[in-house]
Structure 1
Amino acid sequence: MAKPEKALRQMPLVQEPTVTVDALNQRILIRNFRTDMWPALKRRMHKEMQAQPFQKVVLLSREQEVRFLMQQGFVLEATVDQYWQDGPVYYMSRFLTSERREAAHWVKEDSLLEDVLRTEGHSLPPLSVPFQVRQATARDIPQLAALYRKVFASYPSPLTEPAYLKKSLVVNPFSVIEVNGEIVSAAAAEIDAEYRNAEMTNCATDDAYRGRGLMRHLLRHLEDRLIERNIVNAFSIARARSFGMNAALHQEGYRYGGRLVNNCHICGNFEDMNVWGKVLKKTKGAWS
């Protein structure tokens, strides 16, 4: 797997949108877009694609840019409420190959989503002994890497590399559930302090422990940490073919916002991803 520094290269344009060249997922991500920057961004994308072929451009925009981007060949794939604090984010995508645009499992994913939305957000019983939820530490890195290696044949970021996990643990809260000292489920929240939002990500549960509501406990544990840090909005991007993860998000009050076609390379292939968002409560202790 590619090294983190080679897979993702952050290239900030001074006081302007940020371009992330993501070789691992063969895409370019543009954040905080403004229409007056389109000529410069278009030249930048052309230059990057000359150096290395990419299949998709994903642009995170505000409402006022949506019509302009559609005129440039972008399509609206998903939204998340209150992403920017002053309004929702719009995931605008432009596909550079026919293969990347084709959603081979779209109808099945629609059917799965319908089943998910029919599930009820019932109360969640406390974890029973010997299950224990806690915040992860650097000592957990070997077990975390082993869990991610076991669950995912591939992942959009290099989670199986200890150096990457160590760096991520410094800035982002990780929560784990362990049984007799063995980590069987984990999740993280990648915080954007500037916009007071966080992506609930790196979610994994050992196959032997699925169906027990463990991910819901992890989401709640992470949300409490986020509220302590004054984070307003949480969102997650879940595999569209994963009933359990989508159901956990829906049952915990996350709102479905759309689907990203062939968004990233996970479990051995490019997969469609469902986008979910939630405005967090203003007070701690939402463990009802």
Structure 2
Amino acid sequence: MQTTYYENHKVQQPHFTADTCFDYYNERLRIDDYRGSVNHLVIWLEEEVIKNNFNKVIVKSRYEDTALWIQQGYIYEGEFTKYFNGAPAIAMCKYFTNERRNSQYWLDEDNLLKGVMKLPQGASQSPFPEKYSLRMADVQDAKSLAELYGEVFEVYPTPMDNPEYVLKMIQSGTLFCVVEHEKKIVSAASADVNSTYHNAEITDCATLSNHRKFGLMKHLVDQLEKELFNRSIYCSYSIARALSFGMNAVFYQKGYVYKGRLANNCKIFDKYEDMNIWVKDLSS
């Protein structure tokens, strides 16, 4: 099995620079930011796709470059509103195999989304249950967090079941919020903070199955949003499994806006899964 899940590289070429993520585990190349010539960047991307046997490219494009990417065969899959210090990042994607391009669950996910949108927004959530406690995590929690993720997810896009990996995330500024029951972490979520562009991804949401009836995730998201707001980070977004009614419902009811779907985006459980983009402006 591929031991290196991903590598981030700053690529500098004569005609462009790019912040890249070589995502070996998910067989894709991601461009998180770039400057310069889109045409030259496209040529470089296609060469790297062949070298690394990737079958998807996803680019966080500036809004004004969207038409340039379309001309190069890329398709619009969604938007991260206010991602770049208030300006949108447009998810422009290209596929290199039919299998990666075609989603067999798309209509099921459309129907699930319709059901989610029928829920009352801003619904009052269940009170925080007795005998449970909520707090922000620190470095001492790395091992317990890794155990939680290992128990909840058989397969996950990043090695969250590795305590050293979780420790590095906490040390690099990722915020984790946890719920404990009888001194054991039973639910957690994180906010992956981008301090350059002042946005954060709410991710790594996990609850042990026998604790899911209490609506713990909404309380975790609430706390993470407060932490982000206090750091003047107003762009909060998440990428939720399109087949998960529960997680999409959490974000919809917490005031996040649906902004698109990334097809066959990452490996979770036993297959590539489509992921829904949810975005919230915490300043309003």
Fold similarity call, TM over 0.5:
yes
Q: Give yes or no for contact 2:23–2:29 (8 Å, CA) kept in 1.
A: yes
Identical aligned residues as a percent: 38
Give the corresponding residue for 2:9.
11
What is the CA-CA distance between 1:145 and the residue it aligns to?
1.1
Q: Matches of residues 81-96 of structure 1 in structure 2 within 5 Å?
A: 81-96=81-96
Q: In 1, distance between residues paired with 2:87 and 2:213?
A: 35
Give the corresponding residue for 1:163.
164
Give unmatched runs, 5+ long, in structure 2. none
Task: Give the 3-state SS of the residue equivalent to 2:214 in structure 1.
Answer: coil
How big is each residue's C-alpha offset from its partner over 1:87-134, in whole Å with a ceiling of 9 and x where there is no partner?
A: 211100000100000110011100100111111121224312111110
Give the corresponding residue for 1:109.
109
Give TM-score scaled by structure 2 length. 0.94
Give the corresponding residue for 2:236.
234
- Counterpart of 2:76 in structure 1: which amino acid? L
Q: In 1, distance between residues paired with 2:77 and 2:246?
A: 22
Q: Matches of residues 1-288 of structure 1 in structure 2 within 5 Å?
A: 2-3=2-3, 6-14=4-12, 16-34=17-35, 36-120=36-120, 121-170=122-171, 171-281=173-283
What is the CA-CA distance between 1:172 and the residue it aligns to?
1.0
- Counterpart of 1:122 in structure 2: which amino acid? A
Q: Give yes or no for contact 1:211–1:244 (8 Å, CA) kept in 2.
A: no
What is the CA-CA distance between 1:269 and the residue it aligns to?
1.1
Q: In 2, distance between residues paired with 1:78 and 1:212?
A: 31
Q: Give yes or no for contact 2:38–2:69 (8 Å, CA) kept in 1.
A: no
How big is each residue's C-alpha offset from its partner over 1:197-223, in whole Å with a ceiling of 9 and x where there is no partner?
A: 000001111111113211100001111
CA RMSD of aligned residues (A): 1.6
Q: In 2, distance between residues paired with 1:90 and 1:46?
A: 20
Q: Give yes or no for contact 1:258–1:275 (8 Å, CA) kept in 2.
A: yes
What is the CA-CA distance between 1:136 and the residue it aligns to?
1.1
What is the CA-CA distance between 1:41 and the residue it aligns to?
2.0
Task: Give the 3-state SS of the residue equivalent to 2:54 in structure 1.
Answer: coil
Going by fraction, where is strand more abundant, 1 or 2? 2
Q: In 2, distance between residues paired with 1:46 and 1:68?
A: 16
How big is each residue's C-alpha offset from its partner over 1:123-171, in whole Å with a ceiling of 9 and x where there is no partner?
A: 2243121111101122222221111111111111110111110000111
Give TM-score scaled by structure 1 length. 0.92
Task: Give the 3-state SS of the residue equivalent to 2:232 in structure 1.
Answer: coil
Q: Give yes or no for contact 1:2–1:158 (8 Å, CA) kept in 2.
A: no
Give unmatched runs, 5+ long, in structure 1. 283-288
- Counterpart of 1:97 in structure 2: which amino acid? T
